[in-house]
Structure 1
Amino acid sequence: MSAIRTDSLTLSYGDSIIIKDLNLQIPKGEITVFIGGNGCGKSTLLRSLARLLKPQEGSILLEGNSIAKLATKDIAKQLAILPQGPNAPEGLTVQQLVKQGRYPHQSWLKQWSKEDEEAVNEALQSTGMTEFADRPVDSLSGGQRQRAWIAMTLAQDTDIILLDEPTTYLDMTHQIEILDLLFDLNEKEQRTIVMVLHDLNLACRYAHQVVAIKNQAVYAQGKPEDVINCDLVRDVFDVHCQVTQDPIFGTPLCIPHGRGRCILPQIGEVHGKQAITI
């Protein structure tokens, strides 16, 4: 079953076509990662799925309903989006930020409730941010800030979460920390997660499916082990590489080697695991 589906979707900025005639299905309850070169339209596509960008043509279906016909609050109860590099007002505390995720559930008839308080506390706990609740967001480290923003999206209590490059500007430790958190949310709560990632190897580790975008269209879509190979990396990223098996996770591992020819490893032992030619 699809959480989100696009039918003949065309996106543009002015006269410039970014995505053309796209038919895409985002599986429910899985992690989908968009990959592709800079400027290929990954972030544009993600924004359109949240109705932040109006399509030039085609439609987007959210849980089977046309997103164009849904009220903004109804969308916000089903889908949360975390854009790249969000900024909080100076002095805003973590708890105040996370509370903003409950706004779609408020109305003049329904003010702040025990349910809202519980959702905020659960979001803080899930992201390991309870002890930072009273700290200003701008006083936190990069990884802590990102967890605070993710806590806000969790408080929104949606089944679908969209994230635009959630690991940008983070060091390796915090990248893994954030992606592990999202993986756990998917595993334990079956949240549908759609991300844009630049690191191909991390995309392969965490995604149930990857969507490679090139030339205004989907170049390939499927399980990482089914679609990630030397040809894809060369065609989509203009990089020659060899693809072997991650010795820990068993997922595709891309090793770039510049402009030379692509030499695949032979079947053999890699740290006790069998390497694979993909």
Structure 2
Amino acid sequence: MSTLEAKSLGLSYGGAYIFEDLNLAVPEGKITVFIGSNGCGKSTLLRSMARLLKPQRGTVVLSGSDIAGMSTKEVARKLAILPQGPAAPEGLTVLQLVKQGRYPYQSWLKQWSREDEAAVFAALEATGMNELKERTVDSLSGGQRQRAWIAMTLAQETPVILLDEPTTYLDLTHQIEVLDLLYELNVREKRTIVMVLHDINLACRYADHIVAIRQGKIQAAGRPEEVVDSALMEAVFQLKCEIIPDPLYGTPLCIPHDKTRLRAAKAAQKPAGETRREPVSGEELVGVRRADNGGLVMA
């Protein structure tokens, strides 16, 4: 079942199509991650599905309706999007930012309500930002700032949340912090989350559904364990690698080949006095072996 779908979507820049006749159904209540090389169209697709870009062909369907025919506030009550690198006005506090998430519910006749107050408080609590609500957004660390923006999207109380590279510019600790938060929201509230990520290993760890994009086309889509393999990585990223099970989670883990370091590692494994030996496989180097079924397991 899907709350958000792209049907025969076509989008062009300067007469050249980025997408043409693209079809995608986002699984409801799951975490979907778009992966692909730079410039392949991941962010363009995400923005098209949020109605930030108008397609030349096809439709985006949100909760059974063509998104093009919906009012801005109607869309904002069903779908929230956090773009890449959002910027807040100088001096804006976390509380003021999160309150912006209630805009879709405001009107001349309906001003701030108890429901709005409760939604803002719940969003601050869910993201661990309640104690920082009086801080200005520009005074926060990278991870705190991203959590503040996520709190704003949560305050919208939408069933669908789109995020364009939410871990960009964050160190590894803050990346995990943000992705853990999104994972917990998905598990606890069953919100449909769609995001663009560059880190393949984190994408596989957190996604229920992977969409691999290559040159404006969907190369593969499905559970990470079903679709992410060395052939896909070479097709999408032109990267030779080994795919092994993550030792903690069992999800696909990409170990890229590096020709220079690979040769050095092979040379280092030669016994003293031996000038030649059989080449070392990538599997040996990363400490895995082939199972009887052909898959890779930890040695």
Aligned partner of 1:42: which letter? Answer: K
Aligned equivalents of 1:44, 1:108: Cα separation in 2: 34
1:51 aligns with 2:51: yes
1:212-251 to 2 correspondences below 5 Å: 212-251=212-251
1:95-174 to 2 correspondences below 5 Å: 95-174=95-174
Q: Which residue of 1 aligns with 2:85?
A: 85
Aligned equivalents of 2:126, 2:18: Cα separation in 1: 36
TM-score (norm 1): 0.95
Q: Give unpaired runs (5+ residues) of structure 2.
A: 263-279
Q: Give unpaired runs (5+ residues) of structure 1.
A: 269-273
Give yes or no for contact 2:257–2:282 (8 Å, CA) kept in 1: no
Deviation at 1:164, TM superposition (A): 0.2
Give yes or no for contact 1:241–1:255 (8 Å, CA) kept in 2: yes
TM-score (norm 2): 0.88
Q: Tell me the secondary structure at the aligned position of residue 239 of structure 1.
A: coil
Q: Which residue of 1 aligns with 2:289?
A: 266
Q: Tell me the secondary structure at the aligned position of residue 92 of structure 2.
A: coil
Q: Tell me the secondary structure at the aligned position of residue 75 of structure 1.
A: helix
Give yes or no for contact 1:36–1:42 (8 Å, CA) kept in 2: yes
Q: Tell me the secondary structure at the aligned position of residue 253 of structure 1.
A: strand
Q: 1:262 to 1:87 in 2, by over 3 A?
A: farther
Aligned partner of 1:30: which letter? Answer: K
Q: Deviations over 1:170-217 (max 9, x none)?
A: 000000000000000000000000000000000000000100000211
Q: Tell me the secondary structure at the aligned position of residue 290 of structure 2.
A: coil
Task: Please identify the structure whose Cα radius of gyration is greater.
Answer: 2
Q: Tell me the secondary structure at the aligned position of residue 266 of structure 1.
A: strand
Identical-residue share of aligned pairs (%): 64
Q: Deviations over 1:1-42 (max 9, x none)?
A: 111111110111221211111010001000000000000000
1:195 aligns with 2:218: no
Number of aligned residue pairs: give it: 272
Q: Which residue of 2 aligns with 1:3?
A: 3
Aligned equivalents of 1:79, 1:14: Cα separation in 2: 29
Q: Deviations over 1:143-182 (max 9, x none)?
A: 0000000000000100000000000000000000000000
Aligned equivalents of 2:102, 2:139: Cα separation in 1: 23
Q: Which residue of 2 aligns with 1:177?
A: 177
Q: Tell me the secondary structure at the aligned position of residue 107 of structure 2.
A: coil
Aligned partner of 1:235: which letter? Answer: A
Aligned equivalents of 1:132, 1:17: Cα separation in 2: 45
1:41 aligns with 2:36: no
Q: Which residue of 1 aligns with 2:265?
A: none
